[in-house]
Amino acid sequence: VDRPIGLFDSGVGGLSVWREIRARLPAEDLIYVADEAYVPYGTKSVAEIQQRSTMITRYLLTQNIKALVVACNTATAAAIHQLREQFSLPIIGVEPAVKPAAQETETGVVGVLATPNTLASEKFSDLVSRFNTDVRVMVQPCVGWVDLVEQGEWQGQYARDCVAAHVEPLLSAGADVLVLGCTHFPFLLPLIRRVAGPHVRILESGAAIARQLENRLQAERLECDTGHGHTRFVSSGDTHVAAAKMARVLGCTVVVDALCDVGVA
Ligand code: DGL
């Protein structure tokens, strides 16, 4: 029997990565953990995000995973280094697509939309320092966007105003490429597109993560390419609420199991 691949995020955002992995690696079994009891991560302390990341990874190891995808920019920035020190399985993280953005911009101005924690991290400043000699990288902490996605509130005027308030300053500064540096944000894409207009490029990281995961599995001879993979969804919060949230972003019904806390030693 083949072993599953584990993914986690603070909530439903990582499903934007999950859908790319599902499409690219259809034979793999996946376990998706939404840490709904602790969402959002974007404003939590780094220590707390590290603790949650460790706990969830331990849980996923009890489920016998062969690889881990940290489907959250905030948790990657705060905890991936430490996870790699603690655990020996292949661990793939997600980071804002600043490099492709720097290659694609024509105005020389790139806007990065992410959580306050991601933008404040050392990992992010290291990333930016590799590109900001050629291009101007403008950052925009998007407080409240994660909640819009978690609450499924992307239709109304409130959501539109909230998105416009963060995107418009970047456009006024000349940004022609926007980087979605949080895995929740692809679910706001129609709204962001409406505010940004048809000519601005909008980049997300899901497809690149799926490719990276595939390469890594092949390199380690861990890939499974026969049969039809299944996904198990797990949440640390109320499983019915989580199922409703996931169904809203995915557009199909899902069954959600409860996360058994394995504790942090
Ligand atoms: N989806 C996450 C990210 O990519 C975390 C959002 C949050 O919980 O604040 O950053």
**Quick one: residue 259, left, alpha or beta (phi over 0 = left, psi -120 to 50 = alpha)?**
beta
Q: How far is CA 143 from the centre of its chain?
A: 16
The C-alpha atoms of residue 250 and residue 39 are separated, in whole angstroms, by: 18
Tell me, what's the pLDDT at 261?
Answer: 63
Task: Say how many Å lie between the CA of residue 62 and the centre of ligand 1.
Answer: 24
Tell me, what's the pLDDT at 128?
Answer: 96
Tell me, what's the pLDDT at 182?
Answer: 98
Tell me, what's the pLDDT at 133?
Answer: 85
Task: Say how many Å lie between the CA of residue 1 and the centre of ligand 1.
Answer: 33
Per annotation, catalytic residue among 72, 142, 162, 224? 72
Tell me, what's the pLDDT at 226?
Answer: 87
Low-confidence stretches of the chain (pLDDT < 70) are: 1, 261-265
The pick from 41, 44, 180, 187 for probing ligand 1's pocket by mutation, whose C-beta has the most ligand atoms within 8 angstroms, reads 41
pTM: 0.95
> Residues with Cβ < 8 Å from 41, sequence gap 6 or more?
10, 35, 49, 52, 72, 74, 75, 78, 115, 117
CA distances from 136 to 23, 88, 97, 98, 132 (A): 34, 37, 14, 11, 5
Q: Is 162 a catalytic residue?
A: no
Task: Give the pocket of ligand 1 (CB within 6 Å).
Answer: 9-10, 13, 39-42, 72-74, 115, 118, 146, 182-184
Q: Is 72 a catalytic residue?
A: yes
Tell me, what's the pLDDT at 265?
Answer: 39
Tell me, what's the pLDDT at 132?
Answer: 82
Tell me, what's the pLDDT at 54?
Answer: 97
